[in-house]
Each structure stands twice: as structure tokens, then as C-alpha cells.
Structure 1
Amino acid sequence: MGKNLAFSVLLVFAFAKAYSQQQVIDTTRTTELEAVVLTATRTARQLSSLPLPVTLVPKKQIIQSGTIRLNEILSEQTGIITIPDESGFEGVQIQGIASDYVLILIDGVPLVGRSAGNFDLSRLTVGNIKQIEVVKGPSSSLYGSEALGGVINIITEKPKGEILNGNISYRIGRFTQQDINIDIKQRIKKLRYALFANRFSSEGYDLNPDAAGQTVNPFENYTLNGRVFYDLTDKLELFSSVRFYDQTQESGFVVDETAFEGDTEEQEWNAHLRLNHKWNDKLNAEYEMYYTNYSASERLASPVSDEVLSDSDFDQRLLRPEVRFNYAFAKAKTGWNKGTLTTGIGLQYDELDRTFFDNKVSFNSQYIYTQYDANVLERLNMIVGARFDNHSEYSNQLSPKLALRYKINDAIAVKGSVGYGFKAPDFRQLYFDFTNTAVGYTVLGYNVAVDKLAALQAQGQILDVVVSENELGNPLEAESSVGYNLGMTYNKGKWNTELNLFRNDFKNLIDTRIIARKTNGQNVFSYVNFDEIYTTGFEVNAGYKVNKNLRVNAGYQLLYAFDKANEKRVENGDVFARDLQTNQTVVVDRSDYFGLVNRSRHNANLKIFYDIPNLKINLNLRMLYRSKYAQFDTNGNGLIDTYDTSFIDGYVTTNVAASKTFYKDFNLQIGANNLLDYTDQNIPTLPGIQGYIRLNYNF
């Protein structure tokens, strides 16, 4: 790691040297337009004026970085960590909060397809994205369940020019990774349309040649997206979008010297229709209808014996109509400045048909939310809101939120927020019925546990039941959290700096527990509310614009994430571990308790973007550091301590890209991700250096 860090520092000096040798005289000064964010309040707000912690990734940064999938660009942002699960899918962690609790949106509507809680961010291409907005902390006051930890909203581009325009790009990289984009946009009087197509494929790679099969198998996927905007009248605008995603990936396993082969197939459909209605200068409304369907199937069989190892299907559908109103108040005599009242009402129908369920299952919920956003004083902005959810499978939820921002002077502002978030028990936690045929254990959803356990007893498979039926009688509660954020911003001249302290307290987290022991020596598991955890720390972002051509950004996050019950066990001296150096059993003390799995204490990034205008060249360097973390408990004492052996040592990854525009409309980009060639068999998403070359044509 020391050599990698030293080489990264040399790269930084190389950029500085290139800058010192480049003499560009430009007396013109350009004023950058203020970034506008939609997700935090559901209305257009300037990023710098928001009282909430928000990260915005603009299109320019995405293009210059050379990233092509959502997981790649998010992993370079402060306080946002991408974590692969056991399937290799990369989910996102925000303020130490797992992917299960982060809502993923595209143009303001949710995406589905979480087979095990994790959302695979690599499903999403960034080829036609205008910007990515990340709201950190509980956002259930506007978005309901799954927004307990935050919201990621992908905003696609809106056509502007009246002449047909767009771009075509082709990128090829290591492992024969190919990415092809075609994006066409045009405005014809009252009609605007955009057509986008993407093909992404790879031959995969193998980090462990001694093991059978590849770490990542070959795959190819396609994304098609068509969007139409039509001005029906001066006060009515229609927006419609249809998106299709399709992926096929080879699969293969070896079990007891028997090879199994097959394919995994995924498909996703999204249909989005919205009517924007401007009633008058103060009132506007949005009438929205959204439908999405995600399906996945996998079949693995032996080509020799026709023995089937896996044959599973997953088919989820969601329908959501919603109506929103925004009313802008005039300035009152009391001194309250013009504010905006946002109110929405909707219902959601969610349905899942899955191999490991007895029947197709469904949820339905109705919700209403309201929010008031106003400058209560000349320098004080306040956002207060709440949402009420009525769900078919768990108790009603009221999710309030309050956020304040006080502008001390033109350069400094302080802000703080407190909010409540919740996550409903998902289909898997309620209806799962799965038995691992190779090992013999069983996992049962909470709502079916009593009946399924009785059936196993009748079949003579149960040795003893360790949980009473009464304990399984009460319904699962929704997981919930209260999140606090307190921060300060400094924006003056060439500096742009933000500090944010956060704390998230969770209760009623759902996890598995043993409810019975089987005669084969294995266990029967089900789900229960019991965990109480918290994540706390701070993050800081600093940007310095050396001049018009050179920008430097740096970020750092300090994170502590602990289970409260385990803290008490450690304090009481009830946790033991074996010291591998002395081979003695020792009591785990507080300094030995590391925290939750997959959480690093320190995360940092350094990004340098350098333009050479007269040569039409952009150079950039992005360095990412992640300190050590543990993947699972290895000594069986129920927590992560310094005596566990699953720790991944801290490491640095360095990404570079250089692009050159020529003949006005052509752009050639050469880059490398993970330039220092860091690999670890325990991190399937880091296969070493990944060089690439990309050619883009704008028309």
C-alpha cells in the first residue's frame, strides 16, 4: 500500500508540474450557473441554499471521469461507498447505512428488483444523465419506505435544441469490456423527444484461478429509453418515458466435482407518464402515473446428467399513481418571505411472484405528504414536512422532518436537520420459504413461519422448537430511524467548503434468528425485530478553483457504526475471542469492538481536473482511499472484533482520464481505473487495472 500511495503522490506532483508549464492568458471571466436540485424538496432549489446534506454530480463531471455505470461515479463521492454483496452486485452505503435502506429513483420514480435487499447499481448506465442527486439521511417525509437512509435520484436530460442533435460513442477496455451509446434529441415547436440506446458487455474476469469458474462471468446488456415532452397549451406540459433493460449473463458452478452451467437473465420495464399543469402564477400541479416490472430467472443444470442445481424466477411489479400540488405564497406583512407549500397524495400497489413463495404476494399502501419551505427571516430558511403511510402489512407510519439554514454572511451559513425514516418489512422477510438442498438449512418468512414449521414437524424433520408460537404471533414492525445532521458551508472566491456532522439511530431492525433445530443437524431460521444500531461521524468536502482551468476537490468521512446490544455485551464482559498469536481465550474489551461489517472508519478522496483550452484537452486524477473493514464474523462471538480474520486492509485506488477534442465534434478519451493495479480475491469488483479508450462524436 505504501508503494501505491507514493506513486499516487507522484501523480499529483505531475499534474502540478503540467499546470506550471502551461501558460494560458484569458482575460474573460465566465459566471457559472448555480446548480439546481429537485430531489431534496420535490421543487427546484439552488444547491447552495439547501438546509439538507445533498451531493450533486453534474454531467460534465461524469463525462470527464470516463465512468459509464452508476456504481462507478457514486463510488468517487464523499461518504458514499459501493459494497458488493454475496452475488457480486454493488449496492450503495450512505453515512454507514446499508443499500437496503437507500431509495433509487430515476426522474423521481422508484426502481424495483432487490432479490436480497441490495439494489444492483451497475444496471444503470449514465449515458443520458443530466445529473445525479443524492440526499443523505432519512427522507421518508417525502418518499416513504426504503428512503430511511437517503435517496439517489437520476435526472435524465431534457431536449433543448431545435436542430437534431446528440452523440454516438464507443468505448473498449480490458476484459473486452465494451460500451456503446446512441443519444438523439430534438425540439420541434411544441414537441421535444429523446431516444437513447446503450449496449454494455464484458468477457468477465477471474481473480482466483485455483477455484472453478470465473469471479465475474461474461455478460451483455441493453438499455433503451424513449422520452417525449409536449406542450399541450401554455399551461399544460406532457411528459412520457419508456425504458427497457435486458441482460444475459453466463453462470457456472462446480459442486462435488459436478459442473453446472446455465444463464441468468434480467429484464426491466419502466413506463412513466406525467402531466404538469400550471393553474396560475401561484399554483401548479403534477398528475403522475408510473408502472415498472423487473424480472430475473436462473437455471443451472449439469450438461452431463441433467441434474438441476438451481431453477428460480423473480417477477416484481409496481404501480403508482400520484398527484402533487405546489402553492407559492406571497410575502406576508408579518415578515415571512414568499414560501412554497408542497402536498402530494398517492397509492402504491406492489406485487411479487417468486420461486421461493407459495403464491404470488402483494402489498398496497396509501400515502399523503405535505411540506412547507419558506424564508421565515431574511437569513433563515426553514423546511418542515411530514408524510403519513397506510400499509396493508404493517402499522401506519408518520414521518416528520425539520430542516433549518441560517446565512451568517455572504460566505458562511449553518444548517441542521432532523428527520424520521422507516422501512417496511419486505416480501422476503414475510413470505420466504427456502431450503438449501446442499446444506439442509431452512429460512422462513415471518408470516408463513408458524404453518411451515408445523408442516416440517409433521414430516418428522424437526428435533426441537426453540421459539414459542406466541413469539411468532405478533407482526413484524417497520424498521425505523431518527437522523440528525448539523453542518456549515463556506463559499467565497475560489473556495467551496462544507462540513456535516451526522447521527442515525435505528431501532426494530429486522434480522434472522433460529426458531427450530432440524434432525439433520441444521437450523430453521426466521425473521425478528431486535437490533438497535447507530451510525455517527462527520464528512467534509473542500473545493478550490486555482484558476479557470484547474480545480481541486477533496473529501473525507469519519464513521462509527455500532450495535447497541453488542456494546452492552462488551461492557458487561460477556464477549470472548481467541487470540491467534497466543492461542488463548480473551475477553473482548471496548477497544477491540470494531463495529458493523463492511464499514470503514476512514474514507477519503482527492480529485484534480485540469483543462488546457488552447489544446482542447482535459486531464483528471481521482484518488480514493478506504481504510480497513471486516466482511463477516469469523470467531462466532456475534460481532466484529480485532481478533476476527476477515478484515480487508486499507487501500488506495487511483483513476485517471485524459480527453482531447478534435475536428470540433470528436472527442477521444484514454483512461485507466485502478491504475495502481490493486487486487484482492475478497473484493470481486476490483480486478486490477482497467484501461480503456473511448471515442465520442457529437452532432
Structure 2
Amino acid sequence: MAQVATDSLKNHQLQEVFITGTRTERSAATLPLPTQIISGESIQKSGVSRLNEIIQEQTGLITVADFGGGEGIQMQGLDAAYVMILIDGQPLLGRSAGTLDLSRISVNHIDRIEIVKGASSCLYGSEALAGVINIITKKIKTTDTLKGNFSYKKATFNTHDASATFEYGHQKVGMELFGNYFNTHGYNLSKNDYLQTVQPYHNFTIQPKIKINFSSQINLSVNARFYHQNQDNKSEIGTAFYRGQSQINEWNHSLILNQTIDSNFKLVYDLYATRYQAHEYLNDSNDVLFDKSQFDQRYYRPEIRSHYKIGKNILSAGMGLNYETLNRTYFENKATLNSEYIYGQLEWYIKKKLNVLLGFRYDHHHQYESQLSPKIGLNYQWNDHFSSKISVGYGYKAPDLRQLYFDFTNSSVGYTVLGYNVAKQKLDLLQSQGQILFTQGADFSKALKPESSVNFNWGGHYQKSNWSVDYNFFYNRIKNLIDTRAVAQKTNGQNVFSYFNMNQIFTYGLELNSLYKANANWSVAVGYQYLIAQDQGVINKIERGEVFARDPITLNSFKLKPSDYFGLYNRSKHTANIKVNYLISAIKTSVNARVFYRSKYGIYDSNSNGILDQYDDFVKGYFVTNLTLSKDFKHQISAQAGLINLFDYTDPNNIPNLPGRQFFAKIQYEF
């Protein structure tokens, strides 16, 4: 992501800076892409602590819990594996099974969150198939005095969240240090006295920043982030109990050199490196090691970018390379992915009312097919109140290292899962050992293809007086979906699975966001998403009369109709939110109330026909209400108190990331 050294590329003072969608600074209102900004002010008013908590309060963004208690994000009906997460434009690692846990990010140092919905591979490559979430941390301020703040939050489940920021700088050098400590006893929605839904854990984050202005033309930014987490690890197998620890260590480092050649031309040299490690173990009741696993992922990316201004138009180009390694349990050897890429983009202001975004990116991969990712978007300003935008883009997600190199056999059940690139060799080995009963003729001669999508968005923005409305119709179609299927049966009766390009899925729907500001003291925001997400392969089978269901009363089987098919798992057709802000200016107190609704969705195939149909059991629709009170005092002191999940809604069997009513209180001091 381009960090602008000077204002030389700005046309005017920008009220809402948005750099994720184009890698250049521009007003969010002019972007021909479906975008959203979560301001630092709205984050602060909500009183939340972690990134997953603020993300799940946004229209069209659903947080989904994984088996370990972490939460990923679903966007436009597409899984968390297809959403790229960035901090200050740099990608985060740590997707053990496709989900990147958002709860490991503290919100206490966030300036804003920029969201681009829809395929964004033309700028960011793999993983940006569904969209991009860019967490922009606070910038170093030029000041000759030491400034900073302290905050402390106490919440239910014996949760403690403490943060501190220190900043000092002058015209030549600026420095900042942010630290956060988070500790919670977790929570338990089950009746099991030994295993909790989420085990106790604690973590800390340290983020130092340095900015050096060598001259008016050259400056250097040095950014780092260190994260460490410890969590209790427990397991119960039969009558045996096991206990251990789970540990995460992560660091991110970036060096960004901005060089302004002249008022129309600048260069950015970007060197980024990151490492994510996870280790866990279990001991038996005699403190003897029972099981352990490790995950060690590294990523290096040097990149050079250029931005050239031609009148009002901006031509951007960049090139770089990616080098990624992963060493983890169930990998025979350390796996490596490497690629080179080049991209270009034109922000073209054809007339005063029309601007066009044209972009492409070419990724030359060494382990799978190379990819060309084009995109085009148009924004037309009809008048002072109404503008419309349309975009078409291509996105892709490369096979991850697990899908390529996994070598896992379940010791208790006996099934085996093999990555595509090692499957042929491992199958031959199992066959030579007499472990294979028969194979199913799988062909591993061609490389596994990346998943790819075509994304369409059409929307607009209307604003007049105190009222504004944003709408967006979207459509995504994913080809070459990577899924597992059986390739052989073992002599123990269990299957051998591997990964293949299989189905096509599609999602489409509508998003609406409306804001009404009655006056300076209160406002109401309303958001809504309608979503359809289905598998084309399932639809084809139903139309051919190949899918059946059983009547629960008569127990007779019957063919399903296309209208019986509900769609993909864990997708709700309707989600909505209402947010009310009210300021009682006489006592400097604000009230922030948020209500969220999610309609029914399915997570199990209860009638065992392999699809989610209307005769399955569903998770019922539900409401969650959050309330926060904020009060400003003298001497730069402020305080908050609030309730999350005010009416204590829980569903222990289906929604593990909804722990019930939570109280919190927070105090902050700035100096």
C-alpha cells in the first residue's frame, strides 16, 4: 500500500482518505468500488477491544467461529479464506485452516478500517478474491513534546484490557510506541466442567514506529509489530483427560522509503517480512507428553511502486516478489511458495463527473498456474447529491500449502488426508505397504488450479441535507473451487482424501446503508444485506432428479425441487443492524446503542443427503443488542460503561462465539 510522503498527488483536501482500493490517496466518495470506512471515532464509541468485535457490527460482514474459538470473516457470502487482512497495507499470516483469527488484533491503536468488497486481486493477488480489510493504525504526529494515553478496561469473564501509547517527534524524526495487554478467563457454554468453550488465554502486542524525514523529497518509515499469546489447551478423550499449552508468536516488520522525484512523480520502496509461529502440546494425567504440533510460516516481500500524475489522472505501477515457507506438523518437508508479480493502474478522470479505474496484475507462480487479474470500475456524479458506480473484477485464491503438501493420518479413526502435490507419491507408498484396498483413478498429472472468481458490483450514493444512502448489488461466481474427495479406500475401511478443483459456487445480493443525522447531537444508521449463496453443482443434480430427502413422518423418500435447496452452509439470507448515537451535551455524555439481526442459517445436513435443504434443521434467527455510555471529564480523562449482548442471547450448540451478556467499564487518560 502506498504511503504518501507529501501532498503532491492530492487534488484537494480529502475529508475521507481511502487508500486500500487504489493504493493512492483519494476521497472515498469518488471510488468506483464498493467501499466502507469504519472510523476510529466509531470504534472508540463502541467500547470494543478486539477486531472481530467491531467487524461483526458492520453491514454484510459476518464473523464465523472456527473449531479453535477464533473468528474469521465472511464477505458477500464468501468464506473467510477469501478475505485478505492487512495492517497498514501489509498482509497478515497464520491461516492454519483458511481462517485468520481476527481476535488477535487490538483496536486501541486503530485510526480507521478500510474495506473494499469484491475481487481485489488486481492489486493484492491471492486471498483478495472476496475483498480486502485494511487496518490503518494511527500515524506518528509531529510534536516536540511527549504525548500519549493510557486506557484500562475490565469486563465479564475476568477480562482485562490495558493499552498505552507514547509519541514524540519533531520535523526530522518522529517516534511512537504502542502496547496492549489482554487477559481473559474465557467462557463456557457447555455443561462440561473440564472443557470450556474458550479456554483462558492472555496476549500482548507491541508496535514501535519510527519516521525519518531526510529531506522534503525523501522519508523513511520503520514499522514493527510483535504479538505473543498463551492459552490453556485441554482435551477429553473417553475417560482420559489431557492438559497442556497453546502458544502463538508473531512479528511483522516493514521498511518503506518514499522518494518524491517532483510534484508529479514519486517512488515507494517497500520491504516487508513477517513470521507466524504456533505451538501446542498435551500431556496426560501423569504429565507425559501425549501429543504436540507446530506451525511455522514465514513471508518476505520486496516491492517497488511508482505513482505518476498526468493532469488529474494518476498512473500507478509496481513490481515485486513473494517468498513464503511453511513448516508444520503433518508436512514431510518444509513447503515453499514463490512468485513474481507486476501490476498497473490508471485513475482516469475523463470529465468532471466521470472517473474510471483500470487495473491489472500478473502473478508468475512457480508451484501452480500463473494468474492475470484485470479490473475496471466507473464512477459517475449525476449531480451534487447522487453518484453511481459499477465495477467488474477478477479474483483468485491460490492453493494454500496445506492443500498442496498435507500428509495427515488420524491415529484413532484411521483416515488419511494428502495434499495434491504429494498425493501420488504417498498413495504409491501406501499401496506398496499393502494399506490400499482399491483406488478411484484420480489424476494428479496436472497442477492444481487456483480458485478464481468474476465479481460484479453496481451501486450508488445519495446524500442530501442530513440524510445519506449507499446501495450495492453484487454477484460473485467462483470456478475451480478446491474441495476434498476420496481417492482410495484403505484396508482398514477408511478413505484416503485429497484436494481437487471441483464445484462452482455463486453468491449475489444487495447491501444498503443509510444514515440520518438529525442534528449535532444524535444520528441513526440502518444497514441491511440480502444474500443468496449456492452451489451450481448441487442445482444441476437437483434438476437431474439425483437428490432426495426423507419425509420425517412417513419416512418415504422423494426428489427435491430446486426451490427446496437453501444454499451454502452458514449463510443467512437476511442480516440487518440499527445504530443510534445520542449526545447529552450538557453533561458531556454519549449513548451508543446497536441492534443486530441475523436470519436463520444451516450448519448441519441433518437428513444426510449431502446438501442444505429446507427439510434440514436450522439455527434460528436472532437479535443481539449492545449498549455503550461514554463520559468526558476534566483533565483529559474519559470513561465508558456498557453491555454486550444486553438480553443475554445464547445458543450453546450452534453459536460458540456468542458467550452471553457481558458488562464492561473503561477509563482513559490522555496527556
- Which interval holds the TM-score relative to the shorter structure? over 0.9
* C-alpha distance in 2 between matches for 1:342 and 1:307: 55
* C-alpha distance in 2 between matches for 1:531 and 1:228: 48
| Equivalent position to 1:139, from 120, 123, 127 | 120
Paired residue secondary structure (2:262): coil
The amino acid that maps onto 1:362 is T
Partner residue of 2:417?
443
* 1:527-581 CA-partner distances (Å, limit 9, x unpaired): 0001100000010000000101101100000000000010111122211122324
- Which runs of structure 2 are paired with 1:469-488 in the superposition (5 Å)? 471-488=443-460
Partner residue of 2:3?
none
Q: Does 1:51 align with 2:32?
A: yes
Q: Does 1:546 align with 2:546?
A: no
| Equivalent position to 1:650, from 584, 604, 621 | 621
Partner residue of 1:60?
41
Question: 1:664 offset after TM fit, Å?
Answer: 3.6
* 1:76-111 CA-partner distances (Å, limit 9, x unpaired): 111111111122210001100111011111111111
The amino acid that maps onto 2:637 is F
* C-alpha distance in 1 between matches for 2:404 and 2:141: 47
Q: Does 1:197 align with 2:169?
A: no
| Equivalent position to 2:245, from 256, 259, 263 | 263
Structure 2 length-normalised TM: 0.96
* C-alpha distance in 1 between matches for 2:487 and 2:470: 48
The amino acid that maps onto 1:165 is K
The amino acid that maps onto 1:103 is M
| Equivalent position to 2:634, from 640, 651, 663 | 663
Range with bigger deviation, 184-193 or 115-124: 184-193
Paired residue secondary structure (2:157): helix
Question: 1:159 offset after TM fit, Å?
Answer: 2.2
Question: 1:72 offset after TM fit, Å?
Answer: 0.6
- Given that 2:266 and 2:306 are in contact with CA atoms closer than 8 Å, whether structure 1 keeps it comes out as yes
- Given that 2:180 and 2:204 are in contact with CA atoms closer than 8 Å, whether structure 1 keeps it comes out as yes
| Equivalent position to 2:332, from 349, 358, 362 | 358
* C-alpha distance in 2 between matches for 1:417 and 1:488: 11
* C-alpha distance in 2 between matches for 1:48 and 1:609: 23
Paired residue secondary structure (1:594): coil
Paired residue secondary structure (2:562): coil
* C-alpha distance in 2 between matches for 1:568 and 1:243: 48
* 1:404-445 CA-partner distances (Å, limit 9, x unpaired): 011110000111000000111110000000011121111000
The amino acid that maps onto 1:450 is K
Q: Does 1:158 align with 2:153?
A: no
The amino acid that maps onto 2:335 is V
* C-alpha distance in 1 between matches for 2:604 and 2:321: 39
Q: Does 1:398 align with 2:372?
A: yes
Partner residue of 2:7?
none
Paired residue secondary structure (2:510): strand
Question: 1:132 offset after TM fit, Å?
Answer: 0.3
| Equivalent position to 2:297, from 316, 322, 345 | 316
| Equivalent position to 1:248, from 230, 236, 248 | 230
Question: 1:202 offset after TM fit, Å?
Answer: 0.6
Question: 1:635 offset after TM fit, Å?
Answer: 2.7
* C-alpha distance in 2 between matches for 1:211 and 1:456: 41
Question: 1:585 offset after TM fit, Å?
Answer: 1.9
Partner residue of 1:6?
none
Partner residue of 1:13?
none
Partner residue of 1:598?
570
Range with bigger deviation, 458-467 or 525-534: 458-467
The amino acid that maps onto 2:622 is Y
Partner residue of 2:599?
627
| Equivalent position to 2:388, from 396, 414, 422 | 414
| Equivalent position to 2:160, from 156, 171, 178 | 178
* C-alpha distance in 2 between matches for 1:603 and 1:203: 31
- Given that 2:182 and 2:202 are in contact with CA atoms closer than 8 Å, whether structure 1 keeps it comes out as yes
Paired residue secondary structure (1:671): strand
* C-alpha distance in 1 between matches for 2:203 and 2:495: 39
- Given that 2:119 and 2:394 are in contact with CA atoms closer than 8 Å, whether structure 1 keeps it comes out as yes
| Equivalent position to 1:423, from 390, 397, 403 | 397
The amino acid that maps onto 1:375 is Y
Question: 1:659 offset after TM fit, Å?
Answer: 0.8
Query: Share of identical aligned residues, percent?
Result: 47
Question: 1:161 offset after TM fit, Å?
Answer: 4.8
* 1:172-224 CA-partner distances (Å, limit 9, x unpaired): 11100110001112222311111000011111111011474111000000000
Partner residue of 1:520?
492
Partner residue of 1:90?
71
* C-alpha distance in 2 between matches for 1:199 and 1:697: 17
RMSD (Å), alpha carbons: 1.2
The amino acid that maps onto 2:123 is L
* C-alpha distance in 2 between matches for 1:501 and 1:395: 31
Question: 1:307 offset after TM fit, Å?
Answer: 5.5
Structure 1 length-normalised TM: 0.93
* C-alpha distance in 1 between matches for 2:365 and 2:14: 42
Paired residue secondary structure (1:159): coil
User: Which structure 2 residue ranges, 5 or more long, are not aligned?
Assistant: 1-12
Partner residue of 2:556?
584
Question: 1:612 offset after TM fit, Å?
Answer: 1.7
The amino acid that maps onto 1:124 is I
Question: 1:586 offset after TM fit, Å?
Answer: 2.4
Question: 1:636 offset after TM fit, Å?
Answer: 2.7
Partner residue of 1:9?
none
| Equivalent position to 1:688, from 653, 656, 660 | 660
Partner residue of 1:226?
208
Deviating beyond 4 angstroms after TM superposition, the runs of 4 or more aligned structure 1 residues are none
Question: 1:467 offset after TM fit, Å?
Answer: 2.5
- Given that 2:140 and 2:209 are in contact with CA atoms closer than 8 Å, whether structure 1 keeps it comes out as no
Paired residue secondary structure (1:555): strand
* C-alpha distance in 2 between matches for 1:466 and 1:353: 30
Question: 1:45 offset after TM fit, Å?
Answer: 1.0
Partner residue of 1:388?
362
| Equivalent position to 2:428, from 427, 438, 454 | 454
Q: Does 1:675 align with 2:649?
A: no
Partner residue of 2:57?
76
Q: May I ask how many residue pairs the two structures share in their alignment?
A: 657
* C-alpha distance in 2 between matches for 1:344 and 1:634: 50
* C-alpha distance in 1 between matches for 2:180 and 2:85: 20
The amino acid that maps onto 1:650 is G
Question: 1:650 offset after TM fit, Å?
Answer: 0.4
Question: 1:69 offset after TM fit, Å?
Answer: 0.7
- Given that 2:14 and 2:26 are in contact with CA atoms closer than 8 Å, whether structure 1 keeps it comes out as no
* 1:234-284 CA-partner distances (Å, limit 9, x unpaired): 111110111100000001111011101101000101111000111100001
Question: 1:37 offset after TM fit, Å?
Answer: 0.5
* 1:110-160 CA-partner distances (Å, limit 9, x unpaired): 111100011000011111111000100000000001111100101111122
The amino acid that maps onto 1:325 is S
Question: 1:459 offset after TM fit, Å?
Answer: 2.1
User: Which structure 1 residue ranges, 5 or more long, are not aligned?
Assistant: 1-31, 331-337
Question: 1:382 offset after TM fit, Å?
Answer: 0.3
Partner residue of 1:12?
none
Q: Does 1:373 align with 2:347?
A: yes
Range with bigger deviation, 225-234 or 611-620: 611-620
* C-alpha distance in 1 between matches for 2:528 and 2:247: 38
* C-alpha distance in 1 between matches for 2:217 and 2:551: 72
Paired residue secondary structure (1:72): helix
Paired residue secondary structure (2:660): coil
Partner residue of 2:190?
208
